[in-house]
Structure 1
């Protein structure tokens, strides 16, 4: 059964690449949908829900095809969220809470500013994947924990840049020991927790489960990677990121 499912998925993958929404028949889209259900282990409570998700799936597929037919630097494809509307995805799967930052006043931090007339020479772009500073793609599931993944990804990359070692760290420790539950939250507070905790454990030792569990104090004591502080820069300000006289707020022992 597993081999048959794999063959169907591979066939549909080739079929998807070679077709566009303007040439797909209803039968072809239905076949693609059924293969997608198998690939992502999707099960619905009733036929009404399945049909509803199919209509959303078709809309998303149309959007993907129209995008890929245009002149873009990137291509889109189907993933496990293909049966969700944009609103559903934003409400259910995004966990960052920006409200505490909306009215923040940024102070000048001279340590992160260039002297007048000084020019900082930077490359046009940097792909940190090529430098091995990005871990594999992770899946938060239905926990609204993107804030935790944001925090952990930042520290993982920073640790690689500073020490040369890329270590996958534990989002689950933040959920269990800092927030004590799934839901929206603020990465800044998660940074503060890691500082006060003197570090964070690895994902291998404290694996992600996408649900809240009681904080494992024995693992909470394992502080594999730590940080001393963090810096917040103004929103949408590339000049400040380069150190070119923008405003930034330095916290703790930056």
Structure 2
């Protein structure tokens, strides 16, 4: 074992003896401080850093790079500490995750695209199905996980393929709702074969849906597994689950999105650049963020928390280390474009059997 690796393991063992690991989830404020305002020493933060390296299987090219990452790690620890301080009365908590050694600029360039030009984004017809009518009843809360209609959280890695994950999640869910069978589908096929989008570069949600329609379906994740890099479109891909079309939820209409989500999960665009969102841990995310959307995810429900804060329940594609096992609550009914622009652009898939079950015409 080389000396660097040996030092890392020893420090990690020391961490476990001193019981410091809980700080990785919450803050760097000393738990034994009555005022909770005494920051950990540089040595304690180094111990936390070494444990984080082991837990996330990180390695660096040399000691210079490792030291650079430690400085960024400390900055992110300070943010976690400041945000979670009880006196701040935030509606959500943050905690360190796999992004803890990245600067804001690095995170945005690796995991997010530039702000989406929504005016130039291709768009299907706006839904007539999900325009609420006067007196329309809606459930007070929805969580499609309770019905087994949400697949396990996945991880897009450094490939900017969130559009593929947001599309696949909605199609998987609708197939389960319609047929009773959950089939995990292939994001990699969309990365490789949807040529109107450009592999692991930022793209349009509309094109991913259009590919599934025009291709006659999409393959399973087991047959066409995710690799996180763009590759050649496989000729042996299969068409296991198909959709008959897709529609857009009316923009800037919280009630319309709520109505749609009461029937099925919906793919949406949001702005995800802030440290608060990057390190989100629990509670209802209330910003800061803007309406300049740069990320896609899937709304799988909605509700109201015990403090009376209304929220959207979302599924992300950053693995289970983000949020609450890969899921999060985002504040709902704030007006305008919604929190983080969540009301600006939303698409959902159609299936013939689901439309017939609703007694609706497929052209709606």
TM-score (norm 1): 0.81
Q: Which moved more, 1:51-60 or 1:228-237?
A: 228-237
Secondary structure of the corresponding residue to residue 75 of structure 1: strand
Q: Which one has a larger percent strand, Structure 1 or Structure 2?
A: 2
Match of 1:47 in 2: 63
Q: Is the 8 A contact 2:123 2:206 kept in 1?
A: no
TM-score (norm 2): 0.59
Rounded to whole Å, the distance in 2 between the matches of 1:224 and 1:144 is: 25
Unaligned runs of 5+ in 2: 2-8, 30-37, 261-345, 351-361
Query: Is 2:41 the counterpart of 1:25?
Result: yes
Rounded to whole Å, the distance in 2 between the matches of 1:134 and 1:169 is: 12
Match of 2:107 in 1: 89
Q: Which moved more, 1:151-160 or 1:13-22?
A: 13-22
Match of 1:35 in 2: 51
Shift of 1:192: 0.2
| Aligned-pair Cα RMSD in Å | 3.3
Match of 1:210 in 2: 228
Q: Is the 8 A contact 1:96 1:185 kept in 2?
A: no
Rounded to whole Å, the distance in 2 between the matches of 1:12 and 1:188 is: 46
Secondary structure of the corresponding residue to residue 148 of structure 1: helix
Shift of 1:123: 2.5
CA distance 1:69–1:145, change in 2 (3 Å): same
Q: Is the 8 A contact 2:27 2:80 kept in 1?
A: no
Shift of 1:124: 2.9
Secondary structure of the corresponding residue to residue 98 of structure 1: coil
5 Å matches for 1:146-157? 146-157=162-173
Q: Which one has a larger percent helix, Structure 1 or Structure 2?
A: 1
5 Å matches for 1:220-235? 220=237, 222-235=238-251
Aligned length: 246
Rounded to whole Å, the distance in 1 between the matches of 2:235 and 2:203 is: 22
Secondary structure of the corresponding residue to residue 199 of structure 1: coil
Q: Which moved more, 1:49-58 or 1:198-207?
A: 49-58
Q: Which structure has the higher relative contact order (CA within 8 Å, separation 6+)?
A: 2
5 Å matches for 1:109-120? 109-115=127-133, 118-120=134-136
Unaligned runs of 5+ in 1: none
